[in-house]
Amino acid sequence: MEVAVISNYDYIIVGSGIAGLYCALLAQKQGSVLLITKGSIEDCNTRHAQGGIAAAIGINDSPELHFKDTIAAGDGLCNEEVVHILANEASDRIADLVHLGVPFDTLDGEIALTLEAAHSIPRILHAGGDATGEHIEITLSRSIRAANIPVLEHHLATEIIIEQKIVKGIEVFDCENRCKREFECRYLILATGGAGQLFKFTTNPLVATGDGIALALKAGAEVMDMEFFQFHPTALHIPGVVPFLISEAVRGEGGILKNVDGTRFMPAYTQDAELAPRDVVARSIVSEMKKTHQDNVFLDVTHLAPQLTATRFPHIYQFCLDQGLDITRQFIPVAPAAHYMIGGIRVNSWGETSVSGLFAAGEVAGTGAHGANRLASNSMLEVLIFGKRIFKKIAQGICESDSKQHRDNLPNGSIHHKLRARPPSCNVPMLSLEALQSLLWDNVGIVRNMQGLAEAVDILGTWQHSLPELKDRRSYELANMVLTGRLMAEAAFLREESRGAHFRSDFPARSTAWLRHIITTFE
């Protein structure tokens, strides 16, 4: 059924992953809503989420234990108030998904739970084995269409319209007709996902280009913790095949990491072995690859029952089989790949940014729940918890954005960094998507140092002076990636320590002086 697209809405939501879809369903209960997405409604990170959703619903689990695990993974930088909210409201949001029809896997009539790295107890809900994100995305998409919520596909948001420091609407680029349009709204919610396409190797789809970060920054919003980017330890590594996520849950079910000689190596790096936090496992794999002069290691599940592997991980099993690899009999070649943007647009516990009328939800939002290192499977839960709270807050009729209360809610000891125009340098490589992805992977990747970061900052600053004409989706995305990459590189350059997902070989230890956040705005 065709749904008319008007020019003025109560709510405009940008992005069609789980955050955008869930927020749209909530918004339509409170007013008129338009969902805008630069691709099709099916293009998002959510569809690729294999592991599941963490929630303390098990008989031996508790919100307190989930809280402790999240705080431990966050390496000193979690917002404890936010983590309390995350852990305590989890069961209610899971009930919402069940009510919507998400078919979580069950065992003996109860929701099945599995273990993932850095969780002290099995608490990961999953659907279709390793197809959790896909099942949630399909369920929410079906609900969106059933509710006749207008969806504007193939429209890229290019500018947030601000009048007197208040959001008034959004400018979009019609990717098919190559023209611009404007839509007015009372509230704008950015749910644009992450920025994995900044890197040469990533588990993210092509749409993950940091658009929301660039939009918010240019509109005057604060961005926080951009130096913390999580690299998944185990992406399928086969020449000529796009990196494919091999879920954390594979190690949770007993998968063992081995080097090219077939030797298990993780116990030599950490007592938690394969179930250590992702940053530890990723760096251990990089170290082992260097030792053995290889560009991958192996994940071994051949000791598990073949039927268990094939039924618990049907997508992974089938994808590998399509590449000629039977994981029930052969080792899986894996290597780390860029996976999840931990920082983002700074929001309070109600999803409000520092710009009145502008909210953010999902991976694009920096809630403080993840600290310096996201605990596995907390991301989809974060979407549900803080997406819901946006609409609770608006229903109360009192928004704090751009108020003294919001400004005073800054994390203690935060560093305020201004992103300034930089004079162009000579002898800088020509800007291209491939050059940008290689630069970020080599210089702002899993292991960083001052020289590499300084070079990245210089090149990215110069590239901003040589951006191509903004005339199509690709050119807009490239401009957004240069800006988002600059934010990441400059924050990583400033943080002279190693913490969580941020590792500096020249500052390999944590420092109590850096128990603070880097908050960036435009000059």
- 389: annotated active-site residue: no
- Give residue-wise pLDDT tens across range 435-448: 999 999 999 999 99
Q: Where in the chain is the domain with CATH 3.50.50.60?
A: 45-149+349-380+398-408
Q: How far apart are CA 353 and CA 339, in angstroms?
A: 24
Q: Is 383 a residue whose pLDDT tops 60?
A: yes
pLDDT band at 45 (very low <50, low <70, confident <90, very high): very low
pLDDT of residue 221: 98
Q: Is 404 a residue whose pLDDT tops 50?
A: no
CATH number, domain 418-522:
1.20.58.100
Q: Give the long-range contacts of residues 490-493, CB within 8 A, separation 24 or more.
A: 490/417, 490/419, 490/457, 490/520, 491/225, 491/226, 491/227, 491/343, 491/417, 491/518, 491/520, 492/226, 492/227, 492/444, 492/448, 492/453, 493/450, 493/453, 493/454, 493/457
pLDDT band at 421 (very low <50, low <70, confident <90, very high): confident
Q: Where in the chain is the domain with CATH 3.90.700.10?
A: 235-335
pLDDT band at 454 (very low <50, low <70, confident <90, very high): very high
pLDDT band at 40 (very low <50, low <70, confident <90, very high): confident
Q: What CATH topology corresponds to 45-149+349-380+398-408?
A: FAD/NAD(P)-binding domain (3.50.50)
Q: Where in the chain is the domain with CATH 1.20.58.100?
A: 418-522
Write down the catalytic residue from 93, 123, 251, 278: 278
Q: How far apart are CA 126 and CA 171, in angstroms?
A: 37
pLDDT of residue 402: 47
pLDDT band at 204 (very low <50, low <70, confident <90, very high): very high
CATH number, domain 235-335:
3.90.700.10
**Cβ-based neighbours of 213, under 8 Å, separated by 6 or more:** 195, 223, 226, 344, 345, 364, 480, 483, 484, 487
Answer yes or no: are the C-beta atoms of 489 and 453 closer than 8 Å: yes
